[in-house]
Amino acid sequence: MADAIDVTDFELQSLTQSILTRYGIDFTCYEPKSLKRRIIRVINNFELESVHNLWVKFLRDPKFVFTFMNEISVGMTSMFRDPILWKNIKSLLRNEFNQKANIDIWHAGCSTGEEVFTMGIVLKEVNLIHKVKAVATDFNQDAIATAQSGIYHKIKMIENENNYKQFNAFSDFAQYYTRESSDCKMDLSLTSHSKYSYQNLITDLPPSPGMFDIIFCRNVMIYFDSKAKENLLEKFYNALKPKGLFIIGFFDTMGHLNDSNKFNLINEEAKIFRKLE
Ligand SMILES: C[S@@+](CC[C@H](N)C(=O)[O-])C[C@H]1O[C@@H](n2cnc3c(N)ncnc32)[C@H](O)[C@@H]1O
């Protein structure tokens, strides 16, 4: 029976090590419990029945690794997720970024782009969007394609709209999209300052040092083990300008950040950190 499938620690290690050796893609540092759950889902979806058959599929179909990556990284996300964060971002932008000539932002692990549209709307509402350049990266190619299209199912838009109401009760979310049968198409001018690209946060080189005023990496590090998190935090620290803002997700733990002498927690409820000089 499909739901009786189990993935042992040994199978997980062999599989992730084989993927690393053959494709150079590193899942060895992912948190094992959730990775096992995701692998079982792939095995079920493709009716493969075992980890062995899954590996045979890798060997027979050279493109399967990309399908696997997309399946493993399916990202839960929504616009104005955690509305309190966006209220805080709005006031930080008004108070602190108003005087800047330009603002550079990195959305690391942007998934299907909801976070990028959210920031676009906030920037538009505080009249700073013309100053911003953003990069939005993920290693899920399907997710990036959705982000670029700006097309979301009307059911997803109900959640987005509800979140937006908590962020700004005095404005109408409908102004930011048009309805197209069962889908909604976002106003693409909200993200025209953003460049989407494929990037594996674990293995790919970080951007140039000191580039960004704000880095978002929300609900991505939850997938990684301690060592990988530490390495990634170092990358983010280097990529930020002095006093730059680093924003993590409500599901992310703050242990590493609190212990480090690199960041200051400036807003606990919104999980916003500032790079120390
Ligand atoms: C839960 S979503 C988070 C989306 C958004 N940041 C948010 O909080 O709403 C996690 C995203 O991290 C991406 N991800 C996971 N591991 C990654 C890696 N090694 N490199 C780049 N992106 C990764 C997944 O593809 C997925 O889109």
pLDDT tens digit string along 90-136? 999 999 999 999 999 999 999 999 999 999 999 999 999 999 999 99
Distance 93 CA to ligand 1 centre (A): 24
Mutation test residue for ligand 1: of 16, 115, 138, 199, the one with most atoms within 8 Å of CB: 138
Whether 249 lines ligand 1, by a CB cut-off of 6 Å, is yes
Judge if 15 and 43 occupy the same domain. Answer: yes
- Asked if 39 and 102 sit in the same domain, the reply is no
In a domain, 164, yes or no: yes
Could you tell me where the DSSP H helices lie in 61-178?
64-72, 83-92, 114-125, 141-149, 154-167
Taking residues 51-80, what's their average pLDDT?
Answer: 88
Which among 72, 91, 121 is the end of a domain?
Answer: 72
Clarify whether residues 159 and 264 are in a common domain.
yes
In a domain? residue 211: yes
Given a cut of 80, whether residue 45 has pLDDT beyond it is yes
Q: Cα of 87 to ligand 1 centre, how many Å?
A: 23
Ligand 1 centroid, distance to 170 Cα (angstroms): 31
Q: Mean pLDDT over residues 157-164, rounded?
A: 95
Q: Looking at the structure, do residues 239 and 258 belong to the same domain, yes or no? A: yes
Range of lowest pLDDT (63-67, 71-75, 248-252): 71-75
pLDDT reported for residue 25: 78
Residue 2 CA to ligand 1 center (angstroms) comes to 27
Residues 194 and 58 in one domain: no
Q: What is the CATH number of the domain that holds 165?
A: 3.40.50.150
Q: Does residue 38 have its Cβ closer than 6 Å to ligand 1? A: no
Centre of ligand 1 to C-alpha 139, Å, is 8
Q: For 54-68, 193-207, 248-262, which range has the lowest pLDDT when averaged over its residues?
A: 248-262
What's residue 261's pLDDT? 84
The pLDDT tens digits of the residues spanning 200-256 come to 999 998 888 999 999 999 988 877 888 898 899 999 999 999 999 999 988 787 777
- Beta strands at 132-138 and 103-108: parallel, antiparallel or unpaired: parallel
pLDDT at 254: 74
Using CA atoms of 77, 252, 3, 72 in order, give the dihedral in degrees to the nearest 10: 60
Name 265's bridge partners.
Answer: 273
Are residue 149 and residue 53 in the same domain, yes or no? Answer: no
pLDDT at 7 over 50: yes
Let me know whether 151 and 269 are in one domain: yes
Provide mean pLDDT across the span 34-39: 90
Map tokens 């006093």 to a residue.
243
Q: How far is residue 102's CA from residue 15's CA, in Å, rounded to a whole number?
A: 45
For residues 201 and 230, the answer to whether their CB atoms sit within 8 Å is: no
Mean pLDDT computed over 44-68: 93
**Pair (33, 91) in one structural domain:** no
Tell me whether residue 254 is in a domain: yes
Q: Are residues 154 and 218 in the same domain?
A: yes
**What is the best residue among 30, 141, 220, 250 to mutate for testing ligand 1's pocket, by most ligand atoms within 8 Å of CB?**
220
Whether 77 is in a domain gets the answer no
One domain, residues 107 and 64: no
Whether 229 is covered by a domain: the verdict is yes
In a domain, 152, yes or no: yes
**Residue 174 maps to a domain:** yes
Q: Tell me what the mean pLDDT of segment 7-21 comes to.
A: 94
State the total domains in the chain: 2
Domain endpoint, select from 25, 50, 72: 72
* Residue 4 confidence class, pLDDT cut points 50, 70, 90: confident
Supply the pLDDT for residue 3. 56
Distance CA 136, CA 116 (A): 7
Q: Is the pLDDT of residue 27 over 90?
A: no
User: Is residue 115 included in any domain, yes or no?
Assistant: yes
Distance of CA 100 to the CA centre of its chain: 26
**1 pLDDT tier (thresholds 50, 70, 90):** very low
| CATH of residue 8 | 1.10.155
pTM recorded for the entire structure: 0.86
Looking at the fold, whether 119 and 59 belong to one and the same domain comes out as: no
Of 37, 72, 107, the residue at which a domain comes to its end is: 72
Q: Which residues contact 75 (CB under 8 A, 6 or more apart)?
A: 109, 111, 112, 138, 140, 143, 219
Same structural domain, 87 and 65: no
pLDDT score of 206? 81
Q: Which residue segment(s) compose the domain that 132 sits in?
A: 83-275
Q: How confident is the model at residue 2 (pLDDT cuts 50, 70, 90)?
A: very low
Q: Is 82 in the pocket of ligand 1 (CB under 6 A)?
A: no
